[in-house]
Amino acid sequence: MIKGLHHKVRQGALKRFHGTASDPDGSVSKVQISLGRLPDSGVGLQKRKKPGHWRTAKGTTKWAYKLPHPLAPGYYVVFSRAIDDQGLAERVFSRRNRNQYFFRVLPASR
């Protein structure tokens, strides 16, 4: 579950993603996120976009992923998934599941 992400953020204000993860057996071995940029028009936001490259977050039941650099202004989608001790990972993503969020990075204030 991704926490604390707003629909609109100023460039430079978003420094990390964080959240919590759980497994019915209590065996979360790692959490990964996938961040994708969407077309700049913002029209339709391609809600069926699939996760791309997965990056491993720090922590398991409480996790965080620090962004290596500020995101450029534009439209983005972020996914998170928990992976258990047997290598099984979440495969269904939605806002309702709290593991998929669309957001916009606005230019920095002057």
Looking at domain 2-106, its CATH superfamily turns out to be Immunoglobulins (2.60.40.10)
Least confidently predicted of 35-39, 49-53, 75-79: 49-53
pLDDT mean across residues, the chain? 87
Instruction: For 2-45, write each residue's pLDDT tens digit.
Output: 998 889 999 999 999 999 988 777 788 999 999 999 887 655 55
pLDDT of residue 44: 57
The ranges assigned to domains in the chain are 2-106
pLDDT of residue 43: 57
Q: Are 28 and 84 in contact (CB under 8 A)?
A: yes
86 pLDDT higher than 70: yes
Q: Are 70 and 12 in contact (CB under 8 A)?
A: yes
